[in-house]
Structure 1
């Protein structure tokens, strides 16, 4: 699933990087187009908003020249330009997602996630995911299996060459909440414990005894990409997903994540807690 390029996300990443570079240059859109001799600022603003279809290499090169981008950063952004054509590997599931989450995950170099009530989607079992979707008043019954299949397929990013590191902090409430049945939870938590050994996964638990913390307002994920691209905050609900690239917004969520990360148990103690809760669920099954 993650073997090819993901053109839609690469265009988005390129747009975000160009917007960030202009901001760092201190130039307005009008000043940029005047320097480049372009007829209108519309071309630039459409590019920065990802409202273009096929980025032109010559135009991207002109912008990089103006912003004095050289070396590896320049080569990286020109590579994004060449690869931002075609369609996503996830096009067969496009109707099931409210945003480009699978593509963003596949393109990220690191994902840091906080979950308050759910096991994170990348680490869910089919039975757990099925129970989540079946309990929803949003997902039509005829779409449940495809939703489960798409969620399971997302996990392939963790095994893909160059795939992201996944650091996940999970509140104890998500481990104790019975989703589906006690047996479903036993299977889910034992699978979670197994995934903790994955070389790209760091799994941390926040025990109830940690008390109040910075992330109590809800779950989110921080997706990070190669320099000079900005990070993205992803916040999902049952009906929509929000993807924010604003640097100040992302920085605030980094502070929030750092706060809850510092309160979490270390990996060994987190695994001990997961296994002990799995044992409690097993006694009820």
Structure 2
């Protein structure tokens, strides 16, 4: 009986793209690299295009063919190969979480650093449950109350990545001040509680929050928000752009402009200390 086709998950795409780049850097053709492994070229092509899995020990052998002797690189790619087919906790919500959203959660799980420019909303990793419910309800046109509840649960579960035991990612968010003036008629205390949450997460050593002031100068972020996820070397960052039709991932060298843009966005934003002071002022205004 033939094997079932491999679904090209985001982890397999990252692994395949990295192996392809390392092969190019080694100056090897697809045919030459495959022959050195005792494979046919189509097999390696499928691995690089994420349509075939690869075992961790084969990754080690392939890196030797490419002349890669960096132990950290070997460990990172071997781990990615082991995890590529694993199911994450989010699979429990497969009926709610789209494949693109599942990919997003997998990226957060593997991340070394997560950098976000959020002009319209507080980033999901920093939201309160009430804020998440209000914004998900407001943004959807088709979800039932039960489905909204499930999506809120997913968003809250994602936040564990910021405080999990062992390796935690650096999270740096630039939030437009206008997003913190959102009005919530159903539950007026929602924004006050969300501001308190922002103040509290600013105390976490791996979390940095900046605000983009209402009177800021023009910057690259004017064209829209995005999240940039970084991984251990040699895997390149991935940019995520979201809209009503779903999510778009920008991978490999194509993500480089987003890194440069984020540097300018941070420079245009309020300094970290001033951002915290502004958050505290806004929180206090909701108490009066």
Q: Same fold (TM over 0.5)?
A: yes
**Mean Cα displacement is larger for which, 79-88 or 155-164?**
79-88
The one of 220, 227, 247 aligned to 1:214: 220
CA–CA distance in structure 2, aligned partners of residues 279 and 84 of structure 1? 46
Given candidates 230, 253, 257, the residue that maps to 1:224 is: 230
SS of 2:94's equivalent in the other structure is: helix
CA–CA distance in structure 1, aligned partners of residues 175 and 27 of structure 2: 40
Q: Which residue of 1 aligns with 2:154?
A: 150
Correspondence list, 1:52-131, <5 A: 52=52, 54-72=53-71, 73-98=73-98, 99=100, 100-131=103-134
Matched, 1:166 2:171: yes
8 Å CA contact retained: 2:114, 2:169: yes
Task: List per-residue Cα deviations over 1:193-221 (Å, max 9, x = no partner).
Answer: 11111111001111012131111111111
| Equivalent residues, number | 274
Measure the CA separation in 1 of the matches of 2:172 and 2:287.
Answer: 27
CA 173–138 in structure 1, closer or farther in 2 if over 3 Å, else same: farther
Q: How far apart, in 2, do the equivalents of 1:117 and 1:86 lie?
A: 33
Equivalent residues of 1:107, 1:163 under 8 A apart: no
Deviation string, structure 1 residues 97-124 (Cα, Å, up to 9, x no partner): 3321112101101001000000000001
Q: What residue number does 1:27 align with?
A: 28
Q: Which residue of 2 aligns with 1:134?
A: 137
How many angstroms does 1:36 deviate by?
4.1
Query: Paired residue for 2:248?
Result: 242
Question: CA–CA distance in 2 between the matches of 1:156 and 1:267?
Answer: 23
Partner of 1:3: none
Gaps of 5+ in 1: 1-7
Q: 1:197 aligns to what SS in structure 2?
A: coil
What are the superposed Cα offsets for residues 252-281 of structure 1, whole Å, 9 maximum, x if unpaired?
000110001011112211011112223334
* Structure 2 portions without partners, runs of 5+: 1-8
What secondary structure, in the 3-state scheme, does the structure 2 residue paired with 1:118 have? coil
Q: Distance in 2 between matches of 1:141 and 1:238?
A: 19
**Shift in alpha-carbon separation, 1:28–1:208, aligned structure 2, 3 A:** farther
Q: Check conservation: 1:225, 1:231, Cα contact below 8 A.
A: yes
Instruction: Give, in whole Å, the separation in 1 of the partners of 2:233 and 2:144.
Output: 40
TM-score normalised by the chain length of structure 1: 0.88
Question: Are the counterparts in 2 of residues 222 and 232 from structure 1 also a CA contact under 8 Å?
Answer: yes
- Distance in 2, Cα, partners of 1:26 & 1:173: 50
Whole-Å separation in 1 of the counterparts to 2:149 and 2:75: 41
Q: CA deviation at 1:134?
A: 1.4
Please state whether the residue corresponding to 2:241 is helix, strand or coil. strand
Larger relative contact order (Cα-Cα within 8 Å, sequence gap ≥ 6): 1
Paired with 2:30 and 2:145, the residues of 1 have a C-alpha distance of: 48
Secondary structure of the residue aligned to 2:249 is: strand
